[in-house]
């Protein structure tokens, strides 16, 4: 039987004021140490799904909707024509074949299946830095997206976690860009999820990033630079692109503290501590400062990003010194969701970024 990927109950995502025991055959232990805590690596699986299945339970407010209208509400990125094709494909309501004008009622389950698309190969090994009854702290590899998208289904953090912990109602507590590696929080129950959400909203979660930038920052030893520039949508061809934008023009306050850790020929290893959690905040702030992150495809070169998006990695091979941007979530501290006591965790610079720095010497 061919495996099926099921996305019936997507992981809940907590906004950023804006991961027990398991069998020995399922884990491999590394020598990495994070404040004396062993990191356990969950390995990738080789079985890729041949079919993508998605299902939704009809909410009371959708009672009596036509099926096509209900699915349009649930999958807003799909056009009406695409919704019609989904329904005429392999779609059912409570196991019975349905048509676009089929009425759906509260409590019914609507399901559809389609062939799993091909998707890029990405790392699926994740490190479990710390296990607590209320949360996991995980070390996400660069290249692994968080949630399913049009391009990624099998190869997402939520899919990997669902495979490893099928009996847990996990909630990913915040986001990292796909190419950013490092520490993430995953709540293990609704109560801790809610408390972590409040901690993020009240800015009680403190994060520390390591970045390798192009150029040598003129900061003295121990000197810190506060970048205080509001951010908003850049309004360019790439819709996800962010830029510095005045609050009066729709920008949101954004502050990042930067400190030099080590200088290299033509490059600097910096520590960044964001005081806010805006999209692409560190990347944009460093770029605007004149020191873009090594390997960044979007800042400053939008055309490079578009070429990569349309043609893939091979199209830009050799145009960047690294295949991903050199940003790593190296530290996180937050109040324990049950006791309120401050807990902190760290993750060393990953091997690809450490290797890049070694080659600069």
Residues with a known catalytic role: 177
**8 Å CB contact between 156 and 145:** yes
Q: What does the alpha-carbon distance between residue 61 and residue 338 come to, in Å, rounded to a whole number?
A: 35
Q: What does the alpha-carbon distance between residue 87 and residue 74 come to, in Å, rounded to a whole number?
A: 13
SS3 state of residue 131: strand
Listing DSSP states for 206-243 in one string gives EEEEEEEEES-----TT-EEEEE--EEE--SSSTT-EE
**CA 186 → CA 108, 142, 152, 276, 292, distances in Å?**
30, 17, 20, 20, 30
Cis peptide leading into 311, omega within 30 of 0? no
**8 Å CB contact between 245 and 230:** yes
Q: Which residue has the tokens 């996400």?
A: 140
**8 Å CB contact between 161 and 186:** yes
Determine how many CB atoms are found less than 10 A away from the CB of residue 221: 6
SS3 state of residue 335: strand
Identify the CA nearest to 287 among candidates 179, 213, 210.
213
Q: Tokens at residue 118, please?
A: 């091909």
Phi, psi for residue 105 in degrees, rounded to 5: -130, 155
Identify the CA nearest to 19 among candidates 270, 154, 174, 187.
187
Q: Tokens at residue 69, please?
A: 């209208």
**8 Å CB contact between 352 and 142:** yes
């Amino acid at each position: 039987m061919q495996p099926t990927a099921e996305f019936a109950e997507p992981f809940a995502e907590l906004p950023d004021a804006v991961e027990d025991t398991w069998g020995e055959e399922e884990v491999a232990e590394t020598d990495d140490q994070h404040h004396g805590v062993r990191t356990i690596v969950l390995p990738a699986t080789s079985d890729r799904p041949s079919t993508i299945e998605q299902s939704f339970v009809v909410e009371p407010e959708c009672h009596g909707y036509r099926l096509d209208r209900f699915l349009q509400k649930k999958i807003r990125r799909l056009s009406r024509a695409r919704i019609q094709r989904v329904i005429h494909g392999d779609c059912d309501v409570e196991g019975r074949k349905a048509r676009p004008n089929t009425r759906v009622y509260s409590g019914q389950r609507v399901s559809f299946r389609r062939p799993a698309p091909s998707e890029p190969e990405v790392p699926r090994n994740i490190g479990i830095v710390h296990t607590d009854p209320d949360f996991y702290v995980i070390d996400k590899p660069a290249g692994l997206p968080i949630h399913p998208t049009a391009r990624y289904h099998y190869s997402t953090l939520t899919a990997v976690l669902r495979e490893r912990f099928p009996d847990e109602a996990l909630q990913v507590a915040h986001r990292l860009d796909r190419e950013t590696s490092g520490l993430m929080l995953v709540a293990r129950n609704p109560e801790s999820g809610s408390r972590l959400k409040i901690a993020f909203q009240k800015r009680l979660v403190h994060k520390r990033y390591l970045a390798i930038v192009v150029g040598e920052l003129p900061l003295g030893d121990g000197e810190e630079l506060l970048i205080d520039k509001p951010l908003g949508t850049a309004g360019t061809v790439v819709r996800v692109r962010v830029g510095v934008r005045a609050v009066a023009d729709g920008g949101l306050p954004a502050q990042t503290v930067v400190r030099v850790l080590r200088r290299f020929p033509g490059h600097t290893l910096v520590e960044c501590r964001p005081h806010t959690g805006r999209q692409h905040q560190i990347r944009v702030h460093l770029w605007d400062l004149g020191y873009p992150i090594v390997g960044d495809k979007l800042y400053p070169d939008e055309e490079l990003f578009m070429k990569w998006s349309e043609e893939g990695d091979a199209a830009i091979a050799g145009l960047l010194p690294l295949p991903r941007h050199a940003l790593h979530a190296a530290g996180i501290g937050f109040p324990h969701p049950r006791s309120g006591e401050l807990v902190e965790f760290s993750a060393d610079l990953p091997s690809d970024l450490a290797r890049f720095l070694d080659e600069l010497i």
